[in-house]
């Protein structure tokens, strides 16, 4: 994805870490599905501390919808907190994927 579009909308990058009961509950598949539906690129993986980490790029409105999904999580998950940071998209991803993490989890 290019860091901009033909309509002039700048793409942004969301880096988020989700804590709570978020591993072994299908969280990564849930995030990847939402991100793909929203046309985002990036990755999601399990963190070594029991968290789930996500990096996504796309239009701000779509990233906000992904952030709302991260705050909810799939059934069976319990989201305690979502830390986030926003930067300019790098355009380094061509799709959204489930990356290797600390543990297979799901």
34 noted as active-site residue: no
Go through the chain and tell me how many residues it has.
106
Q: Give 21-70 pLDDT, tens digit per residue.
A: 999 999 999 999 999 999 999 999 999 999 999 999 999 999 999 999 99
Out of 13, 34, 45, 46, the active site residue is 46
Residue with tokens 């919808």: 65
Catalytic, 28? Answer yes
Domains of the chain: residue spans and CATH: 12-92 (3.30.70.100)
Cβ atoms of residues 105 and 28 within 8 Å: yes
| pTM of the complete model | 0.86
Catalytic entry in 13, 28, 34, 45: 28
Phi-psi region of 80 (alpha: psi -120 to 50; beta: other; left: phi over 0): alpha
């Amino acid at each position: 994805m290019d860091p901009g579009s033909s309509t002039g909308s700048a793409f942004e990058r969301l880096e988020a870490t989700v804590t709570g009961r978020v591993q072994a509950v299908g969280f990564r598949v849930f995030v990847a599905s939402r991100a793909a539906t929203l046309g985002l690129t990036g990755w999601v993986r399990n963190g070594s501390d029991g968290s789930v980490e996500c990096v996504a790029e796309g239009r701000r409105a779509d990233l906000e919808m992904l952030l709302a999904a991260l705050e909810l999580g799939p059934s069976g998950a319990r989201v305690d907190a979502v830390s986030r940071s926003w930067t300019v998209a790098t355009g380094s991803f061509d799709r959204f994927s489930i990356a290797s993490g600390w543990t297979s989890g799901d």
